[in-house]
């Protein structure tokens, strides 16, 4: 492990005004996305779609890194250039999803634990050789009747820390993603309670396993009311509860917190991030984005699998990237959305 190199990469990923594009949908997930626009999910279609975002003119002003799926890390652009090189040449850092998905947790009906630790050391060595400089592992915490269980909290926290330690050993910056799902009828207070608990356990596990905090990023949910809750917290309430929660649990040594969008509308995901960055309260880390759906939904809708729509799809993607870049400074306003394409709700991101 080279701590200086890890810290430099982690800080570059949260450089001012920039955030991360999560384009690491697994094959089943991207198939569902393509089904929603009536496009067959072939390797070429997946390449064309991702390439149009990677090559969107000027995106490097707003995008610091892209999380890829295994297939994309090995894929060439239409002109034969490796997609990893397309990104690196633009100064965009390539990353890789390394978990093998959230699977049912034995003995805990309705709960999930993320798999993929077996053989991870070898896979990370290969990914580093292919050009990946950071990685992602997503753990899923569900709020519901009797959930989360202690087993769900502890098994996921432990796995996240094992993954993070292995990444750093391989010279790869781990993005540690404990996602408390926003689905459900729960209140914002319950979301805060569960997010507090998982963060406490995750940072305990990271400490015990010797993870170098300066060389990692945290990718959490925002603290919000469940989507089906009868009363929805305001943007200001979400911003205050989210920042308060992270102030209590995330050491100042961590360079950045890069939120997932979690199924929020494009505008709301941006508005929440902007409100957090506008708060007058101590924030020792950068507050940024690592959005999948909230960066891609409008582009997917504009593209529809047709080469003629490439430019419109790039513009839709760049618009969201620009809005989220403004949110990094707390200066986003809804007036920036005038005339923009709005993305449809998409199936959950893995």
Nearer to ligand 13P, 138 or 328 (CB): 138
Compute the half-sphere exposure of residue 140: CA atoms within 13 Å on the CB side of its CA.
22
Which member of 138, 186, 301, 328 binds ligand 13P (CB under 6 A)?
Answer: 138
Nearer to ligand 13P, 117 or 347 (CB): 347
Beta strand 134-141 with 19-23: parallel, antiparallel or unpaired? unpaired
Closest residue to ligand 13P: CB criterion: 292
336, exposed or middle or buried, with CB in 10 Å at 0-12, 13-18, 19+? Answer: middle
Q: Is 324 in the site for ligand 13P (CB under 6 A)?
A: no
Rounded distance between C-alpha atoms, residue 246 and residue 261, angstroms: 17
Q: Tokens representing 319?
A: 């618009």
Nearer to ligand 13P, 187 or 261 (CB): 261
Contact characters 10-29, ligand 13P, x per CB under 6 A: ------------x-------
Contact characters 266-305, ligand 13P, x per CB under 6 A: -------------------------xxxx-----------
Rounded distance between C-alpha atoms, residue 29 and residue 292, angstroms: 12
Q: Cβ distance 143 to 180 under 8 Å?
A: yes
Kindly state the helix (H) or strand (E) to which residue 226 belongs, with its residue range.
none
Nearer to ligand 13P, 131 or 262 (CB): 262
Q: What angle do the packed helices 43-54 and 293-303 form, to 10 degrees?
A: 110
| Contacts of ligand 13P in 159-218 (CB under 6 A) | 177
Distance of CA 38 to the CA centre of its chain: 25
Q: Is 256 in the site for ligand 13P (CB under 6 A)?
A: no
Which member of 7, 260, 298, 327 binds ligand 13P (CB under 6 A)?
Answer: 260
200, exposed or middle or buried, with CB in 10 Å at 0-12, 13-18, 19+? Answer: middle
Smallest separation, CB 96 to ligand 13P (Å): 12
The count of residues interacting with ligand 13P (CB under 6 A) is 11
Nearer to ligand 13P, 116 or 125 (CB): 116
Smallest separation, CB 292 to ligand 13P (Å): 3
Q: Which residues have a catalytic role annotated?
A: 177, 219
CA dist list (Å): 138 to 7, 90, 96, 300: 21, 27, 12, 23
Q: Cβ distance 141 to 193 under 8 Å?
A: no
Smallest separation, CB 332 to ligand 13P (Å): 17
Smallest separation, CB 53 to ligand 13P (Å): 14
Binding stretches for ligand 13P (CB under 6 A): 22, 138, 177, 260-262, 291-294, 349
């Amino acid at each position: 492990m080279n701590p200086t190199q890890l810290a430099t990469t982690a800080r570059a990923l949260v450089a001012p005004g920039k955030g991360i594009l999560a384009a690491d949908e697994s094959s089943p997930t991207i198939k569902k996305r393509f089904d929603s626009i009536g496009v067959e999910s072939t390797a070429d279609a997946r390449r064309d779609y991702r390439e149009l975002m990677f090559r969107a003119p000027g995106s490097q002003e707003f995008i610091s890194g892209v999380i890829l799926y295994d297939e994309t890390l090995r894929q060439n652009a239409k002109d034969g250039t490796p997609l990893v090189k397309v990104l690196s040449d633009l100064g965009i850092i390539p990353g890789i999803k390394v978990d093998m998905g959230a699977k049912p947790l034995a003995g805990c009906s309705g709960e999930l634990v993320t798999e993929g630790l077996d053989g991870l050391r070898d896979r990370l060595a290969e990914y580093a050789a292919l050009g990946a400089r950071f990685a992602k592992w997503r753990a899923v915490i569900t709020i519901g009747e009797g959930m989360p269980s202690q087993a769900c909290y502890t098994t996921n926290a432990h796995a996240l820390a094992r993954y993070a330690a292995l990444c750093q050993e391989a010279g790869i910056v781990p993005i540690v993603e404990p996602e408390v799902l926003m689905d459900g009828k729960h209140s914002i207070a319950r979301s805060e309670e569960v997010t507090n608990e998982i963060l406490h356990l995750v940072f305990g596990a990271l400490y015990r396993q010797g993870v170098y905090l300066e060389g990692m990023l945290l990718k959490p949910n925002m603290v919000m009311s469940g989507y089906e809750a009868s009363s929805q917290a305001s943007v200001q309430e979400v911003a205050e509860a989210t920042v308060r929660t992270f102030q209590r649990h995330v050491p100042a040594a961590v360079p950045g917190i890069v939120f997932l969008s979690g199924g929020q509308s494009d505008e709301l995901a941006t508005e929440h991030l902007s409100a957090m960055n506008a708060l007058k309260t101590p924030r020792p880390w950068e507050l940024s984005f690592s959005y999948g759906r909230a960066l891609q939904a409008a582009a997917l809708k504009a593209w529809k699998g047709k080469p003629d729509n490439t430019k419109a799809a790039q513009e839709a993607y760049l618009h969201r990237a620009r809005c989220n870049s403004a949110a990094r400074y707390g200066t986003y306003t809804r007036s920036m959305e005038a005339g923009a394409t709005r993305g449809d709700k998409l199936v959950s991101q893995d």
